[in-house]
Amino acid sequence: MSGNLQEYIQRRKQELNGIIMAHFYQLPEIQDVADFIGDSLQLARRAAETDADVIAFCGVSFMAESAKILSPEKVVLLPYQEASCPMADMVTAEALRKKKQEYPEAVVVCYVNSSAEVKAESDICCTSSNAINVVRSIPEDRPIIFVPDRNLGSYIEGQTGRKMILWEGCCPIHDRLTQKEIIEKKALHPAAEIVVHPEVQAGVAQMADAVCSTSGILKYVQSSPEREFIIGTEEGFLYTLQKHCPDKTFYLARTDFQCQDMKYITLPVLADSLANLTYQVEVPEDIRSKALGSLENMLAVAP
């Protein structure tokens, strides 16, 4: 049955002049039918560049919103309407406006894992792959409000020496990884390098051999002479790593390292979305135009 669904998805995509984008954390079956697989920065760039009429975005809501912000003339589909991001829900536009009133001179740096409304209240976005460069681009005499991930913010502070006003948000999936789990996994695999995502807690990041975005983790393990790796990010990424590095061995840093919101989109869900053009993402123009500025500022700085 999956073969028939794959054939239908490819045929329907051609009929629509569509493109399927998928985040690294998506199910293997979704990654297999996607035209492009990447992290948040890669997906944002591709959304801005594509000449497709329809973008089926296999990820979570803030990603699909970003595609719509960058390409308002295109139909952007989020195949599973409730696929969200718990971290993004930890900051609201109203709460951010109040914080900005406390620090009127501050530059607001907004992690891309946030709603369109929050992006509209921000000066510049960042992703985990370009956050350090984004922060370094801000004049030293300007305070910085960083939302919503305190862990990524803490990592950036350590790398840049810039103290920031950190929002008390986090990715609950990455935040659960503990130093004890890393120690236990390293004891089982003493030859393995530890590579983690910067959304983990600071203590965990300090134990790692490398701290990288998802695309950065892929580049790191591809270039490393080592053969074994303990990976500190969502389990879906192991499929990508194993596909690109079949001669290397990967161990998930913790047993339950799964973001359920990234698993809602299955082949039947994607096929139904393409068949009926559901669910279409809309961003009000007043919000879109402001959010666009923060995304464009990011893309101008991004390496």
Per-residue pLDDT at 220: 98
Please tell me whether residues 166 and 188 are part of one structural domain.
Answer: no
Please tell me whether residues 127 and 201 are part of one structural domain.
Answer: no
List, in order, residues 6 or more apart from 240 with CB less than 8 Å away: 24, 31, 37, 214, 218
- CA 93 – CA 150 distance, rounded (Å): 17
Please tell me whether residues 293 and 149 are part of one structural domain.
Answer: yes
Please tell me whether residues 143 and 182 are part of one structural domain.
Answer: no
Torsion, Cα 61 65 68 69, to 10 degrees, reads -170
Please tell me whether residues 72 and 146 are part of one structural domain.
Answer: no
The CATH number given to whatever domain includes residue 158 is 3.40.50.10800
Torsion, Cα 218 227 190 236, to 10 degrees, reads 40
Please tell me whether residues 141 and 181 are part of one structural domain.
Answer: no
Per-residue pLDDT at 303: 61
Structural domain span for residue 166: 88-171+289-301
Please tell me whether residues 160 and 233 are part of one structural domain.
Answer: no
Indicate the helix (H) or strand (E) that contains 56: strand 54-58
Please tell me whether residues 242 and 268 are part of one structural domain.
Answer: no
- Residue 134 in contact with residue 48, Cβ under 8 Å? no
Number of domains in the chain: 3
Q: Does pLDDT of 299 surpass 90? A: no
- Better pLDDT: 41 or 265: 265
**% of residues, the chain, pLDDT over 70:** 98
Please tell me whether residues 110 and 145 are part of one structural domain.
Answer: yes
Q: Pull the structure tokens for residue 5.
A: 């669904």
Residue carrying the six token digits 């809501």: 61
Q: Does pLDDT of 10 surpass 80? A: yes
pLDDT digits (tens, 9 = 90+) for 158-194: 999 999 999 999 999 999 999 999 999 999 999 999 9
Please tell me whether residues 115 and 162 are part of one structural domain.
Answer: yes
Q: Does pLDDT of 1 surpass 60? A: no
Q: Calculate mean pLDDT across residues 49-76.
A: 95
- CA 127 – CA 100 distance, rounded (Å): 21
Q: Calculate mean pLDDT across residues 255-280.
A: 97
Please tell me whether residues 198 and 141 are part of one structural domain.
Answer: no
For the chain, the average pLDDT equals 96
Please tell me whether residues 100 and 164 are part of one structural domain.
Answer: yes
| pTM confidence score | 0.94
Place 2 in a pLDDT band, splitting at 50, 70 and 90: low
pLDDT digits (tens, 9 = 90+) for 224-238: 999 999 999 999 999
Q: Output the CA angle 228-238-205, nearest 5 degrees.
A: 65
Place 41 in a pLDDT band, splitting at 50, 70 and 90: confident
How many residues are present in the chain? 303
List, in order, residues 6 or more apart from 203 with CB less than 8 Å away: 179
Q: Pull the structure tokens for residue 192.
A: 């393995």
